[in-house]
Amino acid sequence: MFKTVPKRWGNSLGVTIPREIVTMEKLSPQKEVTLFVIGNQMESLRKIFGTLKITKPTQEIMDEIDKGYD
């Protein structure tokens, strides 16, 4: 995993892959890669994954989980 800033490339955007990643993943021209893009906006991640709102202390939740294993 690495961070990069897209740069204008004609009418598109392009990213540069650091040499260490190219070497480690044995990348070469014309070799297909898959990119997982995460923007800098945490709100978009919250919309995808939701948020966990708990009202009980963590230890109380852990004790409830352990009850089934006694």
DSSP per residue, the chain: ------EEETTEEE-PPPHHHHHHTT--TT---------S-HHHHHHHH------S-HHHHHHHHHHTT-
pTM of the full structure: 0.50
Domain residues of the chain, as ranges? 7-67
State residue 64's pLDDT score. 86
pLDDT digits (tens, 9 = 90+) for 2-59: 888 899 999 999 999 999 999 999 999 999 999 887 776 666 666 777 777 778 888 8
